[in-house]
Structure 1
Amino acid sequence: MFDILMYLFENYIHSEAEVMVDHELLTDELTRAGFHQDEIYKALAWLEKLAALQDTEAYPYLTRVGNQSIRIYTSQESQILDVECRGFLMFLEQVNLLDFTTREMVIDRVMELDTKFFCIDDLKWVVLMVLFNVPGKENAYSQMEDLIFDEQEGPLH
């Protein structure tokens, strides 16, 4: 499923190509690209839920109370998001690329992925997809893009 999300993001969203809204045409294209139909439906449902996360009435936990929060991860979340991933999410919050709401959106979308192996590179792409879909986060999206595509080689000083 994650491969389909990456395919869609790279071929439509990231390239600023016109996104097909007809699920049948999109499903046919993804099938021709070699993806299995059940995985295609899971990926499309994942994207629909991402769009729905902006509705705070449907997802009241995304409403922030106060301006300080500490995120305690469940055991399931800790199994998927290892220490490196959780540290990266904290870093993104500290540099104001993610806020409480977008962090929770990222965690929600990660937990819905149907994958046994998840790494920090996958997390970066999920963050990018979430930021792309949240109005008003264009600057954060651009900075996240720079983090992904302009990674420095060697130690940072």
Structure 2
Amino acid sequence: MHIRPEVFDDRAAVYAVTHAAFAGIDPMVEPEEVGLLQNLFDCEEYDSRFSLVALDDSVVIGHVIATWGRIGGEPMLGLGPLAVAPEYQHRGVGSILMQSIHDQAEAELLSGIVLLGAPGYYRRFGYEPAHARGITPSDASWGEHFMVRVFDESRLPRGDFQYAKPFGV
């Protein structure tokens, strides 16, 4: 397996992986995450440094993206979605993608990354409830599902986090 930045030519495969990963009972219905990704790729908050693909040989088997949001006037990344092709799930692909995006964020000297996700899954990557660090979501009902991974506590902004525009929150 190889991890690298996503390029435009990967996008059809990224959409297919995301569709398969998030498909519900009816696989003919496109998951909302696919439309979200299309909009994230086209928004001004998209940064190609934080869109990574996992490859098996030359086949895209996973993808993770983080786009710029804001806390007050401070930029901060919001992660998601993370998608792994169903036949590659439970093989560490998601974990490697998460570690890779964290490595990239730390290399860029970012203070942290927020996400909305399952605490039982994301805690293993060092995420904790964002409210414990003074970061609040735009929707209070997210509660413990709105989480942060801190890289530099001294530079971590506090306040209300606003996701990239395509998230609509």
Q: TM-score, normalised by structure 1?
A: 0.32
Rg larger for: 1
Indicate the structure with greater strand content: 2
